[in-house]
Amino acid sequence: MTAAVPAQRKGTGALLRAAVALALLPLLALTACGSGGEAPRTAGAQAAPAPDDDPVAGVRTVDSIAALLPADVRAAGSLRVGSSVGSPPAAYYPNGQDKPPAGQDIEIADAVAKVLGVRLERQEASFETILPALGSGKYDVGTGNFGVTAERLKTIDFVTYINDGQGFAVRTGSTALTGRVTELTRLCGLTIGTGAGTTFEKTLTEQRGVCAAAGRKPYEVKVFSETGAVTTALQQGRIDVVMSTINGLRHQAAQPAAQTTFLGEYHRLDVGFALKKGSPLAPALQAAVNELIGNGTYARILKKWGTTASAIDTSRINPPEQR
């Protein structure tokens, strides 16, 4: 027979459990980016502190590379950057603070600016608004772990700086899906959560017929506009699996409190700075990234954020989409 718990203690326990659940959510925030764009940041959702080392501190201007900038940019001495800030390791707000953002994308952009001898005028923006704003001239550059796709190359130029991609994760202990996902037929009959406007959503939507073709029950896709909502849905069992960035899911699974399990890489994509089509900035940005690769700064940034496996050997302008 179980002893009765006094009403006051029962209430306190419920409050404690709720507080613990809320405390875990910051560590569970997913980044719907990389290969597709970043979901809007959930306020206060990124609680992890940033590593202390500063690989960007010693970067200096390289005059020959700065000379590649258009004359008007050199005269202004600045670049307007639309930056999507979501979750680690790409870009997030340490300790839930509003400023300044930290992460791999932030440091690579800051280091590139130092090589070019310009300052960044960074404005936080959601993925959905950054790409159209490049065409309108609101921003010179867009950052947000944007993956290079054939569709985007029709209207956007890219200067690559990392190779990320698509992966899957489940709640630790889940029996709905185990082992590496190499075929979407592994998802048949399951409910997948992902970010709105991402290549994850596009992939899942375009390939929705694979299960019917295999004579199996189709999978269901639930799309979320906020990172925290995807995480909550996973932990509450409303979705079986999450599709998001390789680096974001891998980082998340490394946090003990997150209680998620990474199911491996599904598909790799180049990721780059986004520019309006025909932008004269591309050669300068490419040369700056290659300078950082050559002088070792790039490797130190990736090591700091645990993304060394996503390193590239050289930056490229508008590479074809990886298949």
Instruction: Let me know: does 241 contact 190? Beta carbons within 8 Å.
Output: yes
Which residue, among 1, 3, 2, 321, has the nearest Cα to 163 in the 3D structure? 321
Q: Residue 48's pLDDT is what?
A: 66
Q: According to the model, what pLDDT value does residue 258 have?
A: 86
**Rounded distance between C-alpha atoms, residue 33 and residue 12, angstroms:** 39
- Can you list the pairs that 20-23 forms with residues at least 24 positions away whose Cβ atoms lie under 8 Å? 21/235, 23/257
CATH 3.80.10.10 matches 165-266: no
For the chain, the domains span: 63-164+269-310, 165-266
Token duo for residue 135: 């065409």
Two domains, one topology: 63-164+269-310 and 165-266: yes
d(CA 170, CA 187): 12
CATH topology of domain 63-164+269-310: D-Maltodextrin-Binding Protein; domain 2 (3.40.190)
Query: Strands (DSSP E) along the chain, which ranges?
Result: 78-83, 119-124, 141-147, 156-171, 191-195, 220-224, 241-245, 260-276
Per-residue pLDDT of the chain (323 residues; tens, 9 = 90+): 333 333 333 343 433 333 333 333 333 344 334 444 443 343 334 456 778 889 999 999 999 999 999 999 999 999 999 998 888 999 999 877 767 899 999 999 999 999 999 999 999 988 778 999 999 999 999 998 899 999 999 999 999 999 999 999 999 999 999 999 999 999 999 999 998 878 899 999 999 999 999 999 999 999 987 767 888 899 999 999 999 999 999 999 998 888 999 999 999 999 999 999 999 999 999 999 999 999 999 999 999 999 999 999 999 999 999 98
**Does residue 54 contact residue 93 with C-beta atoms inside 8 Å?**
no
In the DSSP assignment, the letter for residue 186 is G
Q: Which of 164, 132, 108 is nearest to 285 (CA)?
A: 108
Is the CB of residue 227 less than 8 Å from the CB of residue 88? no
Write down the pTM of the prediction: 0.83
Count CB-CB contacts under 10 A for residue 21.
12
Residue 114: burial class (beta carbons within 10 Å; 0-12, 13-18, 19+): buried
Q: What pLDDT, on a 0 to 100 scale, did the predictor assign at position 186?
A: 97
| Max CA pair span of the chain | 81
